[in-house]
A and B are shown apart, each in its own frame.
Chain A
Amino acid sequence: MIAIYTLWVREIKKYFRSKSRIVGSLGQPLLFLVALGFGLGPIFKAAGQGDYIQFLVPGIISMSILFLAIFSGISVIWDRQFGFLKETLVAPVPRWQIMLGRTLGGATVALLQGVIVFLISFLIGFHLQSAGLLALAFVFMFLIALLFTALGTGIASILEDMHGFQLIMNFLVMPIFFLSGALFPLKGLPKVLETIVRFNPLAYGVDGLRGTLGGVAQFGLFNDFCILLVVVVVFISIGSYLFSKIQV
């Protein structure tokens, strides 16, 4: 257990030390909030969907968690390149504990980032409709963070260098984000698109977050929670299997 804690602390320390990384990764969600929020807001309202900022904020929080979580997971590749990975691979600790420590650390960092975006969103006019489900909102944020950190770690365990990173961003992470309902309502989508969205775990994260932050959860909060939890467990299991198979 001490190994899990040790690697968790390492991730947290590294996060707080790279101030430029914290600020840097806030840029994109802010731009999305301002440009899309104010840009598409009038159209959204005219279409009778209500306040777009209210709709958008849970999506953008999910986005910033998604990106940071994947990136934290992928950092296994950096550690492989800079050699530190070997130090953890020869430690007398089961590999799944190393993986779990890293994943929990990366997920905590991604959660913190999500909370920062959440707080900033109040500045551009977001307001909480009910504070009662706030704790549950953080649970959803953490589940999203865990899920995608585990996914990133799993992918990074197979890749040998950063060459595949662009591929992952464009063909996995961006589709996951755009087809999650983070930016637009899922009602009335073409059948094909709707089916794809149904298989996208982030869709349930966005939905759960939207439901707990005061909007309407289309799939139902309970369903969102259960589906996310199952996918988290599956991804962590697959991720630690792949991680334990790393040979350097």
Chain B
Amino acid sequence: MQENIIEIKNLTKKFKDFTAVDDITFDVKKGEIFAFLGPNGAGKTTTIKMLTTLTHPTSGTISINGFDPTKQQEQARASFGIVFQDPSLDDDLTAYENLNLHGMLYGVKIKDRRERIKQLMSFVELWDRKDDFVKHFSGGMKRRLEIARGFLHHPKVLFLDEPTIGLDPQTRNHIWEYLKKMNKEEGTTVFLTTHYMEEADKVSDRIAIIDHGKIIAQGTSEDLKKQTQKNSLEDAFLALTGEEIREEVVKNQAMSGRARAWRR
């Protein structure tokens, strides 16, 4: 029996009259690649924000690496790395400076920091561009740099919120290769969301599907296919969540201004 690195119990997040996350309970095991799937507006990003101390839950408990992100914020924050859905680099700094700043904020000692930055930037094939300003980088390069940054402080868990969105197939493949390799070599648990079912199928050990704020299925990709009697994860996903297009916009209008900004 593997140890759990993340434990979520009865987690709920309400924005005024709208429940974004509704009483979800699940665990992520140490060292696995865990895919958190769901249609737009299902509650994925809100869940990640609660796990990463950016938003407070309305109720329920979370444990990350044994820490409660609502009470032991700093220990919880030191335990994870995150690649956000939107870019979060400083465009006016160079690639190296962005990573160095991250290392300093996370208290990585100078010797380790230098080695680690070189190792990770070479790993994502950006070492020769280290002194370029990030504003000159393409979307794919920024993403790779953010992945390197996410691993910099030796986190126990790396969260990735739709890391391959809007990227070409070459970059997407590379990104999954990096993640699988780091997961294997350093044992970092990977928690990801994506809309590319094929990719989720290929990389993840276990999957949870969330819809309308509730976990509606979890297990390995095989479990989900068996459960729905479908051949691909995409078909299984559609069988579970329905074919209907989600009207996220309507829901957004019902939310307060602040909540709207969260969900973007």
Contacts and interface: CB of A to CB of B under 8 A. Distances in A.
B191 to A, nearest CB: 14
B98 to A, nearest CB: 9
A92 B78 contact: yes
Interface in B247-264: 257-258, 261-262
Interface stretch (B20-28, B99-107, B122-130): B99-107
B93 A10 contact: yes
Nearest to B97: A13
With most chain A CB atoms within 10 A of its CB, the pick from B84, B88, B262 is B88
Contact of B54 (A5, A82, A86, A94): A86
Nearest to A85: B88
Q: How large is the interface on B (under 10, 10 to 19, 20 to 34, 35 or more residues)?
A: 20 to 34
A82 B77 contact: no
B55 A92 contact: no
Interface string B47-76: 001001111100000000000000000110
A36 interface: no
B89 A2 contact: no
Contact of A84 (B56, B89, B97): B89
Interface in A73-90: 79, 82-90
Contacts of B89: 83-84, 87
Contacts of B88: 83-87
B198 interface: no
B91 A6 contact: no
B77 A248 contact: no
Interface in B80-97: 80, 82, 84, 86-93, 97
A90 B93 contact: no
A86 B45 CA distance: 14
B93 A92 contact: no
A248 B261 contact: yes
Given A83-B86, A83-B87, A90 B92 contact: no
Contacts of A20: none
A5 B110 CA distance: 14
Interface residues of A, number: 26
B261 A92 contact: no
Interface string A53-82: 000000000000000000000000001001
A82 B87 contact: yes
A88 B102 CA distance: 8
A247 interface: yes
A92 B74 contact: yes
A29 B258 CA distance: 37
A93 interface: yes
Nearest to A6: B104
Nearest to B82: A90
A164 to B, nearest CB: 12
A13 B97 CA distance: 10
Nearest to A87: B88
Given A89-B54, A160-B261, 15 more contacts: A2-B105, A13-B97, A14-B92, A18-B92, A87-B88, A87-B89, A90-B53, A90-B77, A91-B102, A92-B77, A93-B105, A247-B55, A247-B56, A248-B49, A248-B55
23 contacts: A2-B105, A10-B93, A13-B92, A13-B93, A79-B90, A82-B87, A82-B90, A83-B84, A83-B87, A84-B88, A87-B90, A87-B102, A88-B105, A91-B77, A91-B105, A91-B106, A92-B78, A92-B105, A93-B74, A247-B55, A247-B262, A248-B49, A248-B262
Interface of A: 2-3, 5-6, 10, 13-14, 17-18, 79, 82-94, 160, 247-248
8 pairs of A and B residues whose beta carbons are closest in the complex? A92-B78, A83-B88, A92-B77, A91-B105, A6-B104, A87-B88, A92-B74, A84-B90
